[in-house]
Amino acid sequence: MDAPVPLAERLGALRDALDIAGDAPGVDAEPVRALLAKAGARLALGESTVVALAGATGSGKSTLFNALAGADISAPGVRRPTTGTAHACVWSSDPDAATGLLDWLGVPRRHLQPDVDPELDGLVLLDLPDHDSTRVGNRLEVDRLVELVDVLVWVLDPQKYADAAVHERYLAPYAGHAGVLLVVLNQADRLDATGLRDCLADLRGLLDSEGLAAVPLLAVSAQTGLGLAALRAELVARVAARRAVTERLVGDVRAVARAARGASPVDGGGMDGGAKDGHATAGGAPVAVTDDEREALVDALAQAAGVPLVTAAVARAARSRGGVATGWPPLRLVRGLRPDPLRRLHLTASTAGGGARALGSGGADARAADGRADRAADGAAAGRTSGRTSLPSAAPVERARAAQAVRRVADVSGDGLPEGWRTALRETSKELEAALPARLDRAVASTDLDPGRTPRWWAAIATVQWLVLAAALAGALWLLALAGLAALRLDQVLPLPTVRGIPVPTLLLVAGLLAGLLLTALSRPLVQAWSRRAAQRAGRRLRAAIGEVADTEVIGPLTAQRGAYDRWWDALARAAR
Ligand SMILES: Nc1nc2c(ncn2[C@@H]2O[C@H](COP(=O)(O)OP(=O)(O)OP(=O)(O)O)[C@@H](O)[C@H]2O)c(=O)[nH]1
Ligand SMILES: [Mg+2]
Q: What is the distance in A from the centroid of ligand 2 to the CA of 177?
A: 27
* Least confident piece of the model among 116-125, 327-336, 367-376: 367-376
Candidate ranges 153-157, 349-353, 493-497; pick with highest mean pLDDT: 153-157
Q: How far is the CA of 64 from the centre of ligand 1 (A)?
A: 8
Residue 276 in this model has a pLDDT that exceeds 60: no
Closest ligand 1 atom to Cα of 77: 16
* Residue 83 in contact with ligand 1 by CB distance below 6 A: yes
Backbone φ and ψ of 177, nearest 5°: -130, 70
Rounded to the nearest 5°, which phi and psi values hold at 120? Answer: -105, 5
Residue 463 has pLDDT above 60, yes or no: yes
- Asked if residue 189 has its Cβ within 6 Å of ligand 1, the reply is yes
Is 233 a residue whose pLDDT tops 60? yes
Q: Give the pLDDT band (50/70/90) at residue 146.
A: very high
Q: Is the pLDDT of residue 373 over 70?
A: no
Q: What is the mean pLDDT of residues 428-439?
A: 94
pLDDT at site 513:
94
Specify the DSSP element, H or E, that contains 443.
helix 419-445
Closest ligand 1 atom to residue 59 Cα is 19
pLDDT value at position 348?
60
62 lines ligand 1 (CB under 6 A): yes
Whole-angstrom CA distances from 506 to 466, 495, 519, 575 are 18, 14, 20, 100
Ligand 1 proximity of 420 Cβ (cutoff 6 Å):
no
pLDDT at residue 39 in the model? 96
For ligand 1, the distance from its centroid to the CA atom of residue 67, given in whole angstroms, is 11
DSSP letter, residue 174: G
Q: Where residue 333 falls among pLDDT bands split at 50, 70, 90?
A: confident
Asked if pLDDT for residue 137 goes beyond 60, the answer is: yes
Measured distance CA(518)–CA(328) in Å, rounded = 9
Query: With 50 as the cut, is the pLDDT of residue 352 above it?
Result: no
Of 167-176, 333-342, 376-385, 551-560, which has the strongest mean pLDDT?
551-560
Go through the chain and tell me how many residues it has. 577
Confidence of residue 362 (pLDDT cuts 50, 70, 90): very low
Percent of the chain with pLDDT over 70: 85
Residue 353 confidence (pLDDT) above 60? no
Return the pLDDT at 393: 77
Threshold 0.75, pTM exceeds? no
Give the whole-angstrom CA distance, residue 341 versus residue 506. Answer: 40
Which atom of ligand 1 is the closest one to the Cα of 83? 23
Q: What is the pLDDT of residue 56?
A: 93
pLDDT digits (tens, 9 = 90+) for 464-513: 999 999 999 999 999 999 999 889 888 777 788 889 989 999 999 999 99
Q: Is the CB of 228 under 6 A from ligand 1?
A: no
Q: Return the pLDDT at 77.
A: 62
- Overall average pLDDT of the 79-93 stretch: 81
Q: Which long-range contacts (CB under 8 A, 24 or more apart) does 286-290 make?
A: 286/562, 286/563, 286/566, 287/412, 287/413, 287/415, 287/416, 287/559, 287/562, 287/566, 288/559, 289/409, 289/412, 289/413, 289/555, 289/558, 289/559, 290/412
Report for 152-156, 331-335, 372-376: range of highest mean pLDDT:
152-156
Q: What is the residue-averaged pLDDT of the chain? A: 84
pLDDT at 368: 35
Our answer on whether the CB atom of 74 is closer than 6 Å to any ligand 1 atom is no
Residue 397's CB: how many other CB atoms inside 10 A? 10
Q: Give the pLDDT confidence of 192-229 residue by residue, as tens digits.
A: 999 999 999 999 999 999 999 999 999 999 999 999 99
What is the per-residue pLDDT for 161? 95
Kindly state the average pLDDT of the residues 72-98. 79
Q: Does 268 have pLDDT greater than 60? A: no
User: What count of other Cβ atoms lies within 10 Å of the Cβ of residue 386?
Assistant: 23
Q: What is the pLDDT of residue 286?
A: 57
The closest-lying atom of ligand 1 relative to the alpha carbon of residue 53 is: 19
Q: Is the peptide bond before 525 cis (omega within 30 degrees of 0)?
A: no
Cβ 58 under 6 angstroms from ligand 1: yes
Tens digits of residue pLDDT in 441-455: 999 988 888 877 888
Nearest CA, atom 1, ligand 1: 187
